[in-house]
Amino acid sequence: MPTIYRSMLRDGEKPRVGASAIMLGVRVPADVGPDHEGMVEIRSGGMSVAPAWRVLPPHRISMRLSEQVPDARGKGNLACFRAGDGPFANGEVSDTLVLRLDSATHGLVEPRSAMHIDDFQAALAAMRPDWVIDEE
């Protein structure tokens, strides 16, 4: 699995699950636009991730990390999470999810094949055990 980073709210030592820009999930229609039947097509958007937490947008890095990232201006309750251990490259994230890069510093975790938005959210939530806080 590619190494991916995302800034999210904590729920204990794991990310909080939900349809938010700062949770483990996607927003409709900001991140994905399901069709009239609720289906999310491949290559149509997904959950934003980065290759390292230091390249996340400054508003996504907690201000408490400003010694490491001087521009950090995110809320104090955000944590930088990491999942995976492979190179940041297009590839499989799980049986039903893939990473598609759209730049060297941004990618989207998307459905491998068309799936209902509820199934997509559930597949993202199922990744919760894979995420660890990594702010080193």
Tens digits of pLDDT across the chain (136 residues): 999 999 999 999 999 999 999 999 999 999 999 999 999 999 999 999 999 999 999 999 999 999 999 999 999 999 999 999 999 999 999 999 999 999 999 999 999 999 999 999 999 999 999 999 999 9
Dihedral angle, C-alpha 41, 15, 136, 48, nearest 10 °: 20
Do the beta carbons of residue 3 and residue 83 sit within 8 Å?
yes
- Number of domains within the chain: 1
Residue 81 to residue 136: CA distance in whole angstroms = 11
Domain that holds residue 73: 4-133
pTM of the predicted structure, to 2 decimals: 0.96
Residue 74 to residue 93: CA distance in whole angstroms = 27
For residue 2, what are its two tokens?
A: 């590619």
